[in-house]
Amino acid sequence: MKEHALILSTARIIIPDVPTIEFVTGLVNRGLTLIEYFGVELDNPCDFVEDDMAAVSAGITYIEFFFETENSIDYDSFNELAAENLILEMIEKTSRYDIKCDEKDIFVHIH
């Protein structure tokens, strides 16, 4: 299995105490997100953030999706809409996902 990550960003939002998958997909469907990263799953994304970028990211909510596929993905062949549609289709096809959040970010692991 190949591990992938899709990281979207939006202006900082108030996250419900118990975020639902409908809340997350609603943000994507309304066009409120931008792709920050689409590629292989990073070992620890915090290792790749410079101090000045950490200050900027305080005003941003990141929505991170982690998933596996049997085949590799040609990330460069996906435009923003295609990448968002891929993740929405994966969510629609399964009921197996975990949603976690902290004070400003959301993490979705699709199984």
Q: Can you give the pLDDT of all 111 residues of the chain as single tens digits? A: 899 999 999 999 999 999 999 999 999 999 889 999 999 987 665 555 567 777 778 899 999 999 999 999 999 999 999 999 999 999 999 889 999 999 999 999 999
Residue of 48, 15, 33, 14 lying closest to 87 (CA atoms): 33
Given this model, what pLDDT does residue 32 score? Answer: 84
Given this model, what pLDDT does residue 35 score? Answer: 93
Residue ranges per structural domain of the chain? 2-110
Answer yes or no: are the C-beta atoms of 5 and 74 closer than 8 Å: no
Given this model, what pLDDT does residue 110 score? Answer: 96
Q: How far is CA 98 from the centre of its chain?
A: 12
Given this model, what pLDDT does residue 45 score? Answer: 55
Under DSSP, is residue 54 helix (H, G, I), strand (E, B) or coil?
Answer: helix
Q: Which residue has the tokens 């596929």?
A: 69
Q: Which token pair is 28?
A: 């994507």
